Amino acid sequence: MATKTIEKKSKRERFIKVVELRVNRILDDLDKLGKCSNRKNYDYSDEDVRKIFSAIERKVKEIKSMFQGSPKERFKL
């Protein structure tokens, strides 16, 4: 029984370590993306912005459903 507790704690500690690194990397990358909004340096359309955030939101929704144990959405016509 003690082995399972140690094993779970080890998995938990690994999870925290990996997730903190990955989430902080994502947040840093989002900050970098935000710098692209400077119209003095870049030219972009409203459609470009829509596509960017649509892709990000779609991926966040997909990953969130993985954590919630939801099955992947299937294609339907």
Q: Over the Cα atoms of the chain, what is R_g?
A: 19
Looking at residue 9, what is its pLDDT?
Answer: 80
- Place 3 in a pLDDT band, splitting at 50, 70 and 90: low
CA 23 – CA 19 distance, rounded (Å): 6
pLDDT at 70: 73
pTM of the model: 0.76
pLDDT value of residue 75: 74
Give the single-character DSSP code of 41. T
Give helix then strand counts, H and E, for the chain.
2, 0
pLDDT in tens, 26-50: 999 999 999 999 999 999 999 999 9
